[in-house]
Amino acid sequence: MIEGNNVEVIIPVQFQGAGATPDNIERFKKGIRHWWGGNKGHYHVKVRVVNQPPGPHTNVITIPVQNARVNVTGGLPGNHCTIGANELLENCGWVAAHEAGHLMGLDDRYNRVTGRPNPGWAQNGMGAYGSPFNSTNIHAIIEINGPTPRRNAIPLPSDTEILLNGAE
């Protein structure tokens, strides 16, 4: 929902994999809420990560056992389809938030060969590991998924919440 500068984002996700224990699922959800929620410039952001049943446009976070690859997939063509991050589960909060950025339609803002941030993105979570997400990201998420989407995202009525990848 967008009301002035107040933004609520609902991210539906199906968690699966050998590491998808209740504790690990909550760790991922907490990381996403922590890194994306709160004040982002002039935006006041509330984030909810909700369970999503399987379907054609399901966001899936596959949580492996310790010390393995975390995979995230999203069902709509406007969002990334397959993304991953090499990360230990005990340090997964920021990585989960970065990957949630992809589920919301954001692109990586770093050189995939060197790992270095693109110019102007060194202080942004889509460009540099451990960096916060900011109003630039929220503005892009609104444009991509909001009332008048700019990419192949779900078209939404103007008074609804920002619902991502098949949320109802």
Q: Quickly state the pLDDT bin for 45 (edges 50, 70, 90).
A: very high
List pLDDT tens digits, range 108-133.
899 988 989 999 999 999 999 899 99
**CB-CB contact of 116 with 108 (8 Å):** no
Q: Quickly state the pLDDT bin for 39 (edges 50, 70, 90).
A: very high
Residue with tokens 């460009």: 127
Q: At what angle do helices 92-103 and 22-36 cross, to 10 degrees?
A: 70
Closest CA to 149 of 109, 107, 108, 104: 104
Whether 78 has a pLDDT exceeding 50, the answer reads no
The full set of domains in the chain, from first to last, is 2-163 (3.40.390)
Q: Rounded CA gap, 142 and 104, in Å?
A: 9
Q: Please tell me the predicted confidence (pLDDT) of residue 69.
A: 58
The CA-atom distances, in angstroms, between 87 and each of 52, 67, 84, 105 are 24, 7, 9, 21
Q: Rounded CA gap, 46 and 27, in Å?
A: 17
Q: Rounded CA gap, 17 and 65, in Å?
A: 8
Q: What is the pTM of this model?
A: 0.76
**When comparing pLDDT for 157 and 75, which is higher?**
75
